[in-house]
Amino acid sequence: MKKSDRLLVNTYATFLVNPSNLDIVEYNDYAGRYLSSEKKKISDIIYWDKSISKRIDFENEKKIIYSSRSKTDELELIVVIQVVNYHDVSYYNVILIDNLEDIKDFESQSIDDDISSNGLFTNIFQYSPIGLVLVDSQTKLVRANKYMFDCFDLNHRDNINEGFGNVFGCSTVSDTGFLCGQHEKCQTCKLRNGIDKVLNDKLTMEGVDLGHDFNINGRIVTKWFTISASPVQYGDSTYALFSFVDITQRVRMEERLRELGITDALTKLYNRRHIIKLFEEALLSDEHEHLSVALIDIDDFKIVNDVYGHLVGDEVLILLGEILKEQLRFSDCVGRYGGEEFLIIFNNTEMNTAKVVLERIQKSFREKSLDILDEAATFSAGLTQATIKDLKSDNTMNKILNLADKQMYRAKAMGKDRIKEAVYNEE
């Protein structure tokens, strides 16, 4: 028996390696399958991560785990590198695990020992490129890896024993004195409910996208994650292991692209296509008894462009768009219908009420436009009301728009800067 045999693990292919030049000093019998006369270095046998030597500190880091492949047969491997000392000389003890099921047998420590030591579980957990969180049966975080703390701009810490929301700054419980799960809003928290189902019902989560508000450096920020989870049983104790992939930037980009697809670039109102879509949906809705529709057109807008220029004309359009957003309710819909025309849908609103709102918008537009033009800008509007339950025609939307359009031109013919209305009835 070689004098260093006790440093070699016999169950797996194991090598004793010189750290300075990666020469193989000794190896066990099982490792012989990887060797040949040409293969003298560990880097001849596996794809060696060049950053390993930089990562290992002989005093602080005693073990590293990473995935690689055998250069002999391209077999997927788990590589475990332990720093060992023999007669005051440091070596790499390199262990190749070619059966992933063997990972369970590689270390037989209990979960409590393993998560508090520099074991296999800890290394894989810590260096994972996704967020990992281990939760105990009391829904307290036992451990979270560096990725998770980086997502929330927090310093990493090992000893946690707190609820998820308290650790990562859930906006519901942050700075309130409540523990995660105790606030009444926690009952409807999808993340919290997911943790409970995994722990109590032994259910798994697979690729669920969830968004939640967090307090990060004093600001409320919505973070989005793709979350997977499964229950983990160790002895008599049940844990839940969650993985988190931060998709916040992707979601924000998708939202931005969606906004660009439905928004008028100049006024930031809905574009024509989307306001028509909302109109169609309103006519099919069972939530409203009736609705009012207004089509408005800025008076003499061509003269504004000719006299002041198109840039000033754009400012007038932007101003009207801002006033419309300011004066209309959240339940109302407004979009740029085309050029200097705007379409407003007053959901569940009678025509008389809608007219009062339009008059208020007209007044504000006249007053504020004087900051841009030498004289007040005005608009004419056609307004109509329809009762949803009485609508039966397939061409109802176009008929309502045509009636509003006729009323608008009637307003212009009667002197502009006014509103003319008519109730729509199915013929």
Q: Hey, which residues are catalytic here?
A: 340
The three-state (H, E, C) secondary structure of 75-142, written as one string? CEEEEEEEEEEECCEEEEEEEEECCHHHHHHHCCCCHHHHHCCCCHHHHHHHCCCCEEEEECCCCEEE
Q: How many C-beta neighbours within 10 Å does residue 35 have?
A: 16
Please say whether the beta carbons of 248 and 224 come within 8 A. yes
Do 14 and 46 touch, CB atoms closer than 8 A? no
Number of H helices, E strands in the chain: 13, 16
Residue 157 is encoded by which pair of tokens?
Answer: 């810490």
User: What burial class does residue 8 get, using C-beta atoms within 10 Å of its C-beta: 0-12 exposed, 13-18 middle, 19+ buried?
Assistant: buried
- Residues with Cβ within 8 Å of 294's Cβ and at least 6 positions away in sequence, in order, are 343, 344, 346, 354, 358, 381, 382, 383, 404, 419
Q: SS3 for 203?
A: coil
Q: How far is CA 215 from the centre of its chain?
A: 15
The size of the chain, in residues, is: 427
Angstrom distances, CA of residue 63 to CA of 46, 53, 80, 86, 411: 18, 12, 7, 16, 82
Tokens coding 363 = 């007044």
Residue 347, SS3?
Answer: strand
- Residues β-bridged to residue 17: 24, 92
CA distance 94 to 17: 7
Whole-angstrom distance, CA of residue 321 vs CA of residue 361: 11
Burial 98-122, CB ≥16 within 10 A → b, else e? beeeeeeebeeeebeebbeeebbbb
